[in-house]
Structure formats: C-alpha cells, structure tokens
A and B are shown apart, each in its own frame.
Chain A
Amino acid sequence: MTTPSQHRPAPPRARARRHRALAGAALLALTALLAGACADPEPPSLFADGRVAVGVKNDQPGTGQETSYKFAGFDITVARQVLAGVHAEPDFSSVPSQDRSTVLTHHQKDLVIATYSITDERMKAVDFVGPYATTSQGVMIREDEAGTIRSRQDLKHKRVCTWEGTTSGKELDKPAYDDIEDYPQQDASLCIKDLEEGRADAVSTDQMILYGFTQEKDSHLKVVPGILFGSSNEYGIAMAKGHRADCRRLRDALRAYITSTAWEQDFANSLPAIKEQEPHWQTDFKPSTESIDRLSCRDHPAA
C-alpha cells in the first residue's frame, strides 16, 4: 500500500538536485573509466596461475642437464626453491645460450635460469634477479695433459674451445689473450667432444660449469685450479622487463634462500666436485645479499 505522498511528483528544486547528482555521478564514472584506459596496463603476474615457463640448459651436468626428460642441476634446484617462495612451480624446457635473451623478450619463456651472467649490457634488455651464484672463468683439460698445462703461460698457442652467446668467448677475444688460439663452438657438448677427441687442448668457461663436466661418469677431464680469466661472473635469474613487482617478489625469495642453509646443501649436492676441490667454495661461489640488492630488478648495476 502506498501513501498519497508517494504518488505526489517531486518539487522542481528536488528534481534539479537529483539531476545534478546523477550528472555528477556519471561524470565521475566517465573520469574513472578514462583514467583506467589511459593508465599503463598492469601486466598480469607471471606467477598468477602457479606455473612458470623456465628456460634452462640441458647439456651442462651439475648446473642444468636433461636426462630421460628430467632436468637436474643447481640451476634447476634454484628455480624450484625460489619459485616455491612465490608459490609457483616451474615448467622446464631447454634454451640454447645464444637464445637466452630472445626467449624472454619474445615471451616464449617467463624466466631463464641457465648459468646466465649478469652484465650491464644484458640488464638493459632483461631484468635480473640475482646473483644466485658467483663463479670465475677457468679452464678444463684432459687429465692426461695435467702435467703440461698448469698455468696461464702453458696455454700459449693452445687451441681453447668456447661456445657462442657466452661471456667466456668474449673474454678470450681480448688482446691480452692473443697468444691463445680460442675458437667458438655452437654449444658446450661440442666443445667437450672436441676436447675428448683431441681437436681442442682446453675448454674455457665458468668454473661452475667446468666442474659439472668433471663429475660425469667416466670423465677424464680436469679443471686447472690456477688458471682464471676475467672477473667473476654473477649468475642471475632473467625475466622480461615490465614485471618489476614479480621481480621484487622473486628477489625477496632469493634473498631468503641465500641466507638459509639450503643454498649450501643444494650447491654441494649439485656440484660435489667444487666442494671437494675448492676449499673456500662457500665464500667464492656464494653471493652476498648486498650484491642481490645491487643487481636485482634494475636497468643498470647499483654501485
């Protein structure tokens, strides 16, 4: 039942007030819509559906190796540990060294965790979370050559294999190493084959990778402890730019992982050869949290 007053038309002043209120609300809604349309669209989180496409190496025992469709190595362990910190799980697939940047910029992978060194140049193209490990560039030889190649001088006029898309090859191209006959191969496995079959006298890349090869069953290869090239490489987890919120979440997860005892355990499990042969492995290969803060989620390293 309605009262007579409900049927009575509203007075003109009340109607005008209502119209003004409606117009105001419409204007507000329109402004909000326009603001939303003009603002930079927030990209969806890489971890939103709990699965992350991770590019890894498949031919580097100890760091990233695929055997019977199963990936293993320190990179793989780091991926699992850090992604667990952001409640996501990795879907691994292999990526060649020379494609590590393009699979990210072309959105074919969400992350690349593939012994990928952080450089100023790469930081302009992709974002890094890291370092999760630090290593120097070294040299690996056949065990039967251990008596003849013991120092940098012994590499004069020797054929040293490196592979494309790595900082190691670029380092040996510097004039300081003109007396070394370095040559590039397409990937690590071809270099190892060349070394084993005598076409190369040595293979040079990061010691973490080299020690991984020496761990292989029936390996007759050896890392020469006294030979180091260039400055330390810092391995980072790479991702396409434009995901800084995800990057910072991953950085925090990595920082928590590095400061826990799990890092040492995982490193020693994946690369027992380093634990056996490098007495200071915990200080030489483990990065500091300060370096994580200075290199993660930036376009340029912070000093």
Chain B
Amino acid sequence: MTAEDGDRQDRSAPPTRDIHNSPTTHGDHSIAANDIKNVIIRWVMHPSARWLPLLLACAGLVIAQALHPSGPFGQYLLCTVLAGVALVTAAVRVLIRRSSGVGFVGALSLVSVLATVGGWLAFQHGAAHADIDVTGQVVTAGTQPLDDAGNRSLVLTLGESALKEPRERLRLTLAIDDHDPSGPTCLHRTSATVYLVTSGVAAQEEQMHSGSTVDFALGARTGSVRIQLTLKTGRNCQMDVRAASAVLHDS
C-alpha cells in the first residue's frame, strides 16, 4: 500500500468522535444532547465548581443541626449515612487532581449532590416523624404514696404544649417503687391498671408492672391525654408511681 492510498483511506474514514464537541454528525437531537453534555462537563470541570458540592453538603449539615432535631439517633441513621457519603465524595472531589477523567469527577460531584439532597429529604422525614420525649411533661395528679386501701388511684396527664407536634401513639413506661426502700418490699406483689380516657379516642385499658411499657393509640389530633391509674398491691404496702418514660411516636 502506497502513502497516497493511506491518505485516501484516512480521508474516507469517519472522523474520530470528539466527546467535547461533535455537534454536526448525528442529527438535531444529538446536537442538543451534546450541547447539554458539554455545558455539564464544563461546569463539572470548572475550577470554581470544585468546592460547590462540599459547600452544599456542609450547608445542609449546619442547617440540620441548627434545627435541633428531636428523637433518637436511629431515626436519623439514613440521613447521617447520606451526609457522610455527601461529605466524603465532596472532599474527594476537592482533593482530586486536575488530570483525572471527566467521568470520575462528574460521578463524584453527582453522587455528592444527590446524597446531600437525599440526606436533607431523609432529615425532613425523620424530623416530621421523630419520637418526642415528653417524660418531663407528664403531670401526675393524686396523693402519693399509693396503697391497697383508700388511696389507690392517680391520674397522669399530658397537656396541649406536650402534644403540639401531632403523633399517632404514646409509649408509656411506669416506674413503681417501694415508698420506704428500707421496709419489706412489695414490688413483686404490685401491678397497675392504666386506662386511657382521652376524648375522641377509643378507651384503652392495660395491665402494667414496674418497668413495663404500654403503647396507646392517640388518634389524629389529640389536644390532651388523660390516663387513669389504679394500683393493686399487697396489704399495707405503700408505693410510689411515676412515668419513667413517655414518648410520642408514629407507628
């Protein structure tokens, strides 16, 4: 084969594909797609875009923390994982050398931004359905200690302020203790009947021991919660009752 043949062959062969700009060879749609692609690539590879995913992830984290989310850490696990992914990928994007491939840099930026958005959505969902600890807001009405004779009942209430964020259920744990720990113990002979008497909610009755937990359904919009407690204990026993834990939560 002569050099002329070689030149001819080169001229007749299709031109090599330029990934940055090949607007004219495959129709109108391809032209538009390639334009968008080129814009994205330029944005991704632009020096000022290096910090953008990291800034976005950090801003999300700062705002989330400033909102003081309530509830246990477990409810924000997905949010935390996504925030970690967003931060790590964004940090790698910042530290990566200029010579790295466009695809890799683009993937890092994309993953970081998507993880930030996903983390924020997970945070919003967690905050909207998070458990709310209202233990300190349970008001106990009645005279303590309770006994086996004339003073067997008390009422536990949760006011409007405790219920300002609506939740479907109330998880209540009772602590029952001997009034006089230096006297004979009555704890093993003591139980309580708790009865939810809140308007708009079906009455619910449960038997409890010290340390046991009940889960009351509260309905959609409950203004206040009222729980009647009646103690059953041994002869001449005197017991103290309190809410060890009260947590509003969604199913």
Contacts and interface: CB of A to CB of B under 8 A. Distances in A.
Interface of A: 117-121, 123, 136, 167, 170-171, 174, 228-234, 290-291, 294-295, 300-303
A189 to B, nearest CB: 24
Interface string B172-212: 00001110111111111111000000000000000001111
Nearest to B208: A303
Contacts of B183: 119, 167, 170-171, 230-231
Contacts of A123: 185
Interface stretch (B24-32, B121-129, B218-226, B234-242): B234-242
19 contacts: A119-B181, A119-B185, A120-B178, A167-B182, A167-B183, A171-B183, A231-B184, A231-B186, A291-B188, A294-B188, A295-B185, A300-B187, A301-B178, A301-B185, A302-B187, A303-B176, A303-B190, A303-B210, A303-B212
A230 B184 CA distance: 8
A118 B176 CA distance: 17
Given A231-B237, A303-B211, A120 B185 contact: yes
Contacts of A290: 188
A125 to B, nearest CB: 11
Given A120-B182, A121-B181, A303-B190, 16 more contacts: A119-B181, A119-B182, A120-B181, A171-B183, A229-B236, A231-B237, A232-B234, A232-B235, A234-B185, A295-B185, A295-B188, A301-B187, A302-B187, A303-B187, A303-B191, A303-B209
A80 B182 CA distance: 29
Contacts of A229: 236
A226 to B, nearest CB: 14
Contacts of B189: 291
B26 to A, nearest CB: 63
Contacts of B236: 228-231
Contacts of B177: 120
A229 B238 CA distance: 12
Contacts of A295: 185, 188
Contacts of A170: 180, 182-183
Contacts of A291: 188-189
A301 B235 CA distance: 17
Contacts of A300: 187
Contacts of A228: 235-236
A118 B185 CA distance: 7
A123 B187 CA distance: 13
Contacts of A121: 181-182
A210 to B, nearest CB: 16
Nearest to B177: A120
Contacts of B182: 119-121, 167, 170
Q: Residue among B177, B178, B234, B236 with the most chain A CB within 10 A?
A: B236
B235 to A, nearest CB: 6
A135 to B, nearest CB: 10
A255 to B, nearest CB: 15
A234 B187 CA distance: 12
B185 A303 contact: no
Q: Residue among A118, A136, A170, A301 with the most chain B CB within 10 A?
A: A301
A120 B189 CA distance: 13
A201 to B, nearest CB: 22
Contacts of A136: 235
Nearest to A294: B188
A231 B186 CA distance: 7
Nearest to B234: A231
B84 to A, nearest CB: 34
A303 B178 contact: no
A230 B179 CA distance: 12
A108 B187 CA distance: 31
